[in-house]
Amino acid sequence: MAGADVLRDYFGDVPGAPETIDWVEVETELGRGLPDDYKDFCLNYPAIEINGFITILHPRSDVDGGNLIESSTAILEGIRATVQLVPESVPFPVFPDDGGILPWGYDVDGAYLFWKTRGDPDEWTIVVGYDTYCEHKMVVDGFA
């Protein structure tokens, strides 16, 4: 996978054995498949903070705020509460709605990184959301 090579060029090799992740379990718990570039990243890297700025959620993380399932659940609950109060504040459906935004990371300034879950997971685009939301026509390994 070309994206995995780009990530290895950027992050280098991680010492130790690759992560063992039961993707069927993770995807069943989420109720949705996930992009291959993200799965490859997680198999080769632990939960990671990039340059002290972006945290990429990981299904095996035990770091507070770093676990994909736990953090995305909490983030989505907050977004749903916001949408109930101010419906126009989030211009995208919220996961698990069709095409809903699903978090995969966040930055130190409080912006969230989402997948827009429409269609094939390997074709999902990236949405960055804080006060405003902006969609980027790229996948995780192109964004990170």
For the chain, domains (ranges, CATH) are 2-143 (3.40.1580.10)
Residue predicted with more confidence, 111 or 15: 111
Full strand arrangement of the beta sheet holding 48-50: 48-50, 54-56, 101-107, 112-116, 125-129, 133-136
Strand partners, 129: 112, 133
Percent of the chain with pLDDT strictly greater than 70: 83
Name which of 106, 112, 119 is nearest 134 in CA terms. 112
- The listed range with the strongest mean pLDDT (17-26, 43-52, 99-108, 129-138) is 99-108
